[in-house]
């Protein structure tokens, strides 16, 4: 057999964001060697500035005329969808770095390694956004996951942190195995790992039961990643045990990375055989929303509450995907569903990162994430309370805060599909929106309406610059986007998938 030795076509600009992040990772590791222990905290600067530098090529790609750049035989595509998600990952990780700077510097943890691992995971996400091939998706997913197993255990003297990491690792490994098993069926029948080839195969032949099994296992693997019910049970423990900035990272970026691959898988590769994935996603969405919300009602720890809330929010993001193929003519691309997923992810990311920023700020005073420690926090810091109220009500989807638009585009996708199955899911989502308000508002009520405990420290709260920057860059968009959603909607509108 002769293997073609021709050099693959490489578009360097298309790869520039990934290459930049790789370069930054090496810089950080190098700095770790060169810097004395006293100066090692400065590696966080390299990480944050490096992330911003990597945004430059992303921006250049966004404004360039070439709408889609395909490489490696179509396995790696830089289209608007990929660009939008890469920009999101970079901005979100920048916020995570802001959240983590003081946490890591003050906690006697390894420093350079933390930033390097964080960026390595983000590198995997950026690859994920471009991956249009089963193998590339798998490699990207491992790049995303493996560093996060280590990050979850960063508080290594803390039993809960170790528990978090072990649970996360075992479940992660299991889900990867299940997913690979499913992918092997798909490859075996379709004869290709490329998503567009799989779509071509489905268009030409009727899918066999074995193929259905392949789709099912692949989806189950992703269901673990995005912590959809009933594959969610690792999430609350992992979120609670992991260092809070890592939890923020997992609940926003890691989840978004799962969706980044799930969307092309469903909308490109498996789109034709909707009987296979539609019921699965429908059930996952309904169960995640309902059980996530009901479990969140009973939480007494804010991080656990946010964990269940993020499970429920993941359910909301699944809704447009689940109804994507409903009520459509053949060959019509489900634009409203894609827009809904992207817009929801972006807005969810902002408000959830903001909520974690508040959790970190409060924990600096109280050293706890228990809801009881939030009692009367209004008297300590009205500003933090106001910002938390913004994030909580935004997560609940109340106009005029950003979250309403996310919910709105989700409902829009449902009504666009318009079939009874879709409407049923829409009504489930509507009911869940109301349940969710109950626990989101409870956090705010505790902060404002309960009395501050007698012995509590009443001195004004000092928030480090990095953390307050993170609060501002999340809170301001949440308000502005609620009033002028079009600023963001453009991104969703432009993020067309190409295949």
Partner 1 sequence: MKEFLNDWGLTLAVFIPLVGALAIMFWPKSQETAQKSIALATSLLTLLVGVLLLINFDYNSSGMQFDVNKQWIPLINSRYHLGLDGIGLPLLLLSMVIVVACVIYSWNHFPEPQNPKAFLALMLILATGMNGTFVAQDLILFFVFFEVVLLPMFFMIAIWGGPNRQYASIKFFLFTMFGSALMLLSFLALFFLSPERTFDIQELTALGGAGIIRGTQNWIFAGLFLGFAIKVPMFPFHTWLPDAHTEAPTVGSVLLAAILLKLGTYGFVRIAMPILPDAARDWAPWIGLLAIIGIIYGALCSLAQRDMKRLIAFSSVAHMGFVMLGIATLTDFGVNAAIFGMVAHGIITGMLFFLAGSVQERFETREIARLGGLLTQAPKMGWILGFTAMASLGLPGLAGFWGEFPAILAAYSPAPGLSEATFRTFMVIAAIGTVLAAGYMLWMFQRVAMGEPKPEFAAAHVHDVHNLEWLAWTPLLIAIFVLGIFPNLLFSVTDESVVKIFAVFGG
Residues that bind partner 1 (CB under 8 A): 339, 393, 398-400, 404-405, 408-409, 411-412, 414-416, 418, 423, 426-427, 430-431, 433-434, 437-438, 441, 445, 448-449, 484-486, 489-490, 492-493
Residue 359 contacts residue 299 (beta carbons within 8 Å): no
Nearer to partner 1, 126 or 286 (CB): 286
Residue 465 CB, shortest distance to partner 1, in Å, is: 21
Nearest residue (CB) to partner 1, 114 versus 348: 348
DSSP per-residue string spanning 107-175: TT---HHHHHHHHHHHHHHHHHHHB-BHHHHHHHHHHHHHHHHHHHT-STT-HHHHHHHHHHHHHHHHH
Q: How far is CA 224 from CA 47, 126, 461, in A?
A: 29, 20, 38
Nearer CB in complex with partner 1: 363/398: 398
Residue spans of alpha helices (H) in 270-381: 274-297, 302-322, 335-366
Instruction: Taking each helix axis as running N to C, give the angle between helix 420-449 and helix 382-396, from 0 to 180 degrees, rounded to the nearest 10.
Output: 170
- Smallest separation, CB 313 to partner 1 (Å): 16
Cβ density class 413-430: b for 16+ within 10 Å, e for less: bbebbeeebbeebbebbe
155 φ/ψ sector (left φ>0, alpha ψ -120 to 50, else beta): beta
CB of 90 to partner 1, least distance (A): 24
Least Å distance between CB 416 and partner 1? 6
Q: How far apart are CA 240 and CA 234, in angstroms?
A: 10
DSSP 17-61: HHHHHHHHHHHHHHHHHHS-GGGGGGHHHHHHHHHHHHHHHHHHH
Residue 199, number of CB atoms within 10 A of its CB: 19
Q: Closer to partner 1 at the Cβ: 19 or 398?
A: 398
Sign, Cα dihedral of 48, 54, 56, 58: negative
φ, ψ for residue 333, nearest 5 deg: -80, 135
Nearer to partner 1, 214 or 492 (CB): 492
CA distance 18 to 383: 38
Q: How far is the CB of 446 from partner 1 (least distance, A)?
A: 11
Q: How far is the CB of 126 from partner 1 (least distance, A)?
A: 26
Closer of 281 and 436 to partner 1 (Cβ): 436
Closer CB to partner 1, residue 98 or residue 286? 286
Nearest distance, CB of residue 393 and partner 1, angstroms: 6
- Number of Cβ within 10 Å of residue 166's Cβ equals 17
Measured from the CB atom, the residue of 200 and 400 that comes closer to partner 1 is 400
Backbone angles phi, psi at 483, to 5 degrees: -90, -40
With respect to partner 1, which residue has the nearer C-beta, 249 or 393?
Answer: 393
Which residues make Cβ contacts (< 8 Å) with residue 429, sequence separation at least 6?
A: 289, 316, 319, 407, 410, 411, 414
Residue (26 or 438) nearer to partner 1, CB = 438
Give min distance, CB of 412 to partner 1, in A.
6
CA 284 to chain centre: 17
75 by Cβ neighbours in 10 Å (0-12 / 13-18 / 19+) ranks as buried
Q: What is the smallest separation between the CB atom of 434 and partner 1, expressed in angstroms?
A: 5
CA distances (Å), origin 89, targets 95, 123, 271, 393: 10, 9, 26, 24
Shortest approach of partner 1 to residue 383 CB, angstroms? 11
Taking the complex as a whole, the smallest distance from the CB of residue 11 to partner 1 amounts, in Å, to 30
What is the radius of gyration, based on Cα positions, of the chain? 22
Are 214 and 83 in contact, with CB atoms under 8 Å apart? Answer: no
If the CB atoms of residues 78 and 435 are measured against partner 1, the closer one turns out to be: 435
| Residue 439 C-beta: closest distance to partner 1, Å | 11
Which residue, 258 or 482, has its beta carbon nearer to partner 1?
Answer: 482
């Amino acid at each position: 057999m002769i293997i073609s030795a021709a050099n693959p076509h490489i578009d360097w600009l298309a790869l520039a964001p990934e290459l930049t992040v790789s370069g930054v990772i090496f810089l950080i590791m190098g700095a770790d060697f060169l810097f004395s222990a006293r100066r090692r905290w400065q590696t966080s600067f390299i990480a944050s500035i490096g992330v911003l530098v990597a945004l430059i090529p992303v921006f250049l790609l966004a404004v360039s005329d070439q709408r889609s750049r395909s490489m490696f035989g179509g396995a790696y595509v830089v289209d608007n969808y990929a660009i939008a998600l890469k920009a999101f990952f970079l901005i979100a990780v920048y916020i995570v770095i802001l959240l983590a700077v003081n946490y890591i510097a003050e906690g006697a943890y390894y420093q350079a390694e933390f930033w390097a691992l964080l960026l390595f995971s983000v590198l995997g996400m950026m690859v994920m956004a471009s991956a249009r091939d089963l193998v590339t998706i798998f490699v990207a997913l491992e790049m995303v996951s493996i560093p996060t197993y280590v990050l979850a255990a960063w508080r290594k003297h803390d039993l809960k942190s170790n528990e978090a990491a072990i649970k996360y690792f075992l479940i992660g490994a299991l889900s990867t195995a299940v997913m690979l098993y499913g992918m092997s069926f798909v490859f075996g029948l379709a004869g290709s790992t490329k998503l567009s080839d799989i779509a071509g195969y489905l268009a030409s032949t009727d899918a066999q039961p074995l193929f259905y099994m392949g789709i099912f296992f692949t989806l189950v693997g992703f269901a673990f990643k995005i912590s959809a019910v009933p594959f969610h049970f690792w999430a609350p423990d992992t979120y609670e045990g992991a260092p809070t900035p890592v939890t923020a990272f997992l609940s926003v970026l890691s989840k978004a990375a799962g969706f980044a691959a799930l969307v092309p898988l469903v909308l490109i590769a498996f789109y034709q055989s909707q009987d296979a994935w539609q019921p699965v996603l429908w059930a996952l969405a309904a169960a995640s929303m309902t059980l996530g919300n009901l479990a969140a009602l009973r939480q007494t720890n804010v991080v656990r509450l946010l964990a269940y809330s993020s499970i429920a929010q993941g359910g909301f993001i699944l809704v447009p995907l689940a109804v994507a193929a409903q009520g459509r003519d053949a060959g019509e691309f489900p634009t409203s569903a894609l827009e809904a997923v992207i817009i929801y992810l972006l807005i969810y990311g902002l408000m959830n990162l903001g909520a974690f920023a508040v959790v970190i700020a409060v924990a600096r005073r109280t050293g706890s994430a228990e809801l009881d420690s939030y009692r009367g926090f209004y008297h300590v810091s009205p500003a933090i309370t106001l910002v938390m109220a913004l994030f909580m009500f935004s997560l609940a989807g109340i106009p005029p805060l950003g979250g309403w638009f996310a919910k709105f585009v989700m409902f829009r996708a449902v009504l666009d599909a318009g079939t009874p199955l879709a409407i049923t899911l829409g009504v489930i989502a509507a009911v869940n929106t109301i349940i969710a308000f109950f626990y989101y508002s409870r956090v705010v009520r505790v902060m404002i309406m309960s009395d501050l405990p007698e012995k509590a420290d009443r001195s004004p709260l000092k928030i480090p610059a990095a953390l307050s920057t993170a609060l501002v860059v999340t809170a301001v968009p949440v308000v502005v986007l609620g009033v002028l959603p079009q600023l963001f909607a453009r991104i969703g509108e432009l993020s067309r998938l190409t295949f």
